[in-house]
């Protein structure tokens, strides 16, 4: 009997949640077959069978499991049922949803010009990143037709009316606000589906005999998701470099092959190839602001370290109840944001900035959180974070991070901010000196949680430690203020019940 345990999925990750069993208890599974989906606080991933045999599930869906906990067991001595002795990964039959369509009456407003919209104060031009529709396509009202990029964000542009699209601008072109991007002939009728998605599914028919289907070799070793993508994208399996155990192709391998066509890891060794790429407006703005921060501030960095054990204990014990009540995970960011807000109220200079010959102080805490988005670094803002509950902060963080990943952040959500928190620990950084997000005067850097031997009352104790870094503008913040602020943050994080306010910290945690 082989035990299937929760694997190590990343530094600082101590537990996962069993989302879904993909194979039922008692099923016969093949080696490397996906049997379950697990979710950590950072990602969702698949769990594979280590041997062929009969599966016995040990954990239930929704259970929170520690790294190393037993998820299932496999009886590798059990005989395979008839017809199931070999591993085969086959593509599913292609199904075409044939929906009846009807031509709606044309809008009849002639040719409408689609112009670059106003996207924020001080923004005078944008770059046309990508057309999502082709010349001559019929588009619906509000259908996304292209992606634009300003110096602060990437956003989508929608069709203002239904009709036939005519492209005016080209991909990569820099356009002024108000410039014409495209034209739509609204006198052309546009077909729309008259049946619902559910009706379309019920009326699904097999593809005609001449529908091209990519054949997947029976001996292909790939996860079900990877095999499905290979079939759907008509990808040659030989162009995919497998990173799974035993040469198995995983989902990430297929996505990497699609994103980097023609490149195979290792094949580019010993070459002298070069590639020139035009810097995006967003990257140019980030570069300019970082250099400006270094050149215009008297920037210093002070360090400290915090024992993360108390916070990790609270999260481990109460995060399930917290999520049940509030619908969001209890992460680290709410603790850090709360601690920072209290520290800023104690040391207001850290929450201020210089404007000419004046210092502007804020009686509120607008906390910027640095997020690595597909197009580069963005810093959305949590407004009045000092007035939000732990759950309120977590909901706002999840909302902003999701928008950043999808390039959906608005100008308003990225403007302002009185203090910034950045977390290099998610990438494995042990220590760094973050650069101030001007015009702010300070930024807090979080780092990787790492077990280290610490001296406690004359005894060596292993603790979960994190280095903290506070970069600050010495023109406005003195050494006493910067160090005292960071010590205050450290004290609050190491006694997290102080962040919760109330006679019963646990009860308060669940009620905030």
Q: Which residues are catalytic?
A: 474, 478
- What distance in Å separates the CA atoms of residue 305 and residue 449, rounded to the nearest whole number? 10
Q: Where do the H-state alpha helices sit in 158-250?
A: 197-202, 224-233
CA atoms of 22 and 505, how far apart (whole Å):
39
Name the maximum alpha-carbon separation found in the chain: 84
Identify the pLDDT of residue 407.
77
The four Cα atoms 260, 265, 270, 276 give a dihedral, to 10 degrees, of 20
User: Would you call 283 helix, strand, or coil by DSSP?
Assistant: helix
Intrachain domains 2-87 and 101-193 with the same fold: yes
Rounded CA-CA distance 169/175 in Å is: 8
- In this prediction, residue 197 carries a pLDDT of 38
- Say what the pLDDT of residue 97 is: 39
What confidence score (pLDDT) does residue 507 get? 45
pLDDT of residue 484: 96
pLDDT at 41: 61
Does the domain at 2-87 match CATH 1.10.540.10? Answer given as: no
pTM over 0.85: no
Kindly report the CATH class assigned to 282-511.
alpha beta
- Tell me how far apart the alpha carbons of residues 352 and 455 are, in angstroms, rounded to a whole number: 37
Termini Cα distance of the chain: 46
* pLDDT of 425: 86
Read off the DSSP letter of residue 208.
P
Given a cut of 70, the residues of the chain with pLDDT beneath it are 9-12, 41-44, 82-105, 120-122, 152, 192-219, 224-225, 245-246, 261-271, 374-376, 500-512
C-alpha 335/C-alpha 140 separation (Å) is 45
CA distance 406 to 422: 19
pLDDT digits (tens, 9 = 90+) for 260-301: 766 655 555 566 778 888 777 777 777 888 898 889 999 999
Q: Does domain 101-193 have CATH number 3.90.1150.10?
A: no
Question: Residue 96, Cβ neighbours under 10 Å: how many?
Answer: 12
Angle at 294 between CA 289 and CA 296, to 5 degrees: 85
**Beta-bridge partner residues of 451:** 464
Extract the tokens encoding 78: 């059990």
Domain ranges of the chain: 2-87, 101-193, 282-511
């Amino acid at each position: 009997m082989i035990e299937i345990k929760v694997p190590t999925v990343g530094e600082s990750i101590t537990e996962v949640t069993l989302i879904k069993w993909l194979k039922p208890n008692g099923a016969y599974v093949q080696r490397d077959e996906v049997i379950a989906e697990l979710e950590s606080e950072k990602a969702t991933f698949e769990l594979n069978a280590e041997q062929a045999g009969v599966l016995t599930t040990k954990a239930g869906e929704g259970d929170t499991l520690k790294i190393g906990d037993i998820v299932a067991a496999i009886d590798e001595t059990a005989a395979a049922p008839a017809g199931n002795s070999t591993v085969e990964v086959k593509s599913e039959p292609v199904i075409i949803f044939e929906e009846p369509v009807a031509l709606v009456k044309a809008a009849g407003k002639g040719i409408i010009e689609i112009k670059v919209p106003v996207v924020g104060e001080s923004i005078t031009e944008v770059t046309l990143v990508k057309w999502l529709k082709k010349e001559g396509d019929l588009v619906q009202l509000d259908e996304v037709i292209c992606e634009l990029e300003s110096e602060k964000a990437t956003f989508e542009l929608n069709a203002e009316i239904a009709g036939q699209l005519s492209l005016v601008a080209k991909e990569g072109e820099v356009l002024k606000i108000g410039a014409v991007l495209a034209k739509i002939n609204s006198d052309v009728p546009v077909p729309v589906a008259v049946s619902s998605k559910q009706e379309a599914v019920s009326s699904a028919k097999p593809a005609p005999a001449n529908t091209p289907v990519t054949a997947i070799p029976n001996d292909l070793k790939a996860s079900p998701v990877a095999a499905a993508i290979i079939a759907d994208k008509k990808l040659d399996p030989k162009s995919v470099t497998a990173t799974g155990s035993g040469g198995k192709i995983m989902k990430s391998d297929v996505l990497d092959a699609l994103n980097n066509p023609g490149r195979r890891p290792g094949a580019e060794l010993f070459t002298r190839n070069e590639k020139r790429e035009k810097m995006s407006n967003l990257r140019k703005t980030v570069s300019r602001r970082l250099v400006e921060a270094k050149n215009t501030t008297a920037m210093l960095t002070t360090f400290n370290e915090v024992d993360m054990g108390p916070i990790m204990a609270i999260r481990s014990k109460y995060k399930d109840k917290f999520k049940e009540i509030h619908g969001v995970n209890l992460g680290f960011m709410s603790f850090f944001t709360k601690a920072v807000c209290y520290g800023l109220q104690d040391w207001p200079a850290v929450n201020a900035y210089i404007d000419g010959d004046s210092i502007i102080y804020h009686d509120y805490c607008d906390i910027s959180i640095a997020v690595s988005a597909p197009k580069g670094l963005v810093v959305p803002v949590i407004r009045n974070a000092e007035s939000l509950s732990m759950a309120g902060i977590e909901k706002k963080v999840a909302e902003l991070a999701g928008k950043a990943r999808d390039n959906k952040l608005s100008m308003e959500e990225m403007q302002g901010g009185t203090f910034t928190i950045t977390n290099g620990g998610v990438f494995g950084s042990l220590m760094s000196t973050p650069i101030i997000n001007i015009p702010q005067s300070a930024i807090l850097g979080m780092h990787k949680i790492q077990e280290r031997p610490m001296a406690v009352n004359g005894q060596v104790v292993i603790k979960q430690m994190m280095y903290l870094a506070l970069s600050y503008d010495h023109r406005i913040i003195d050494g006493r203020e910067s160090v005292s602020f960071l010590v205050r943050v450290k004290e609050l994080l190491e006694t997290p019940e102080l962040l919760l306010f109330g006679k019963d910290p646990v009860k308060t945690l669940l009620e905030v």
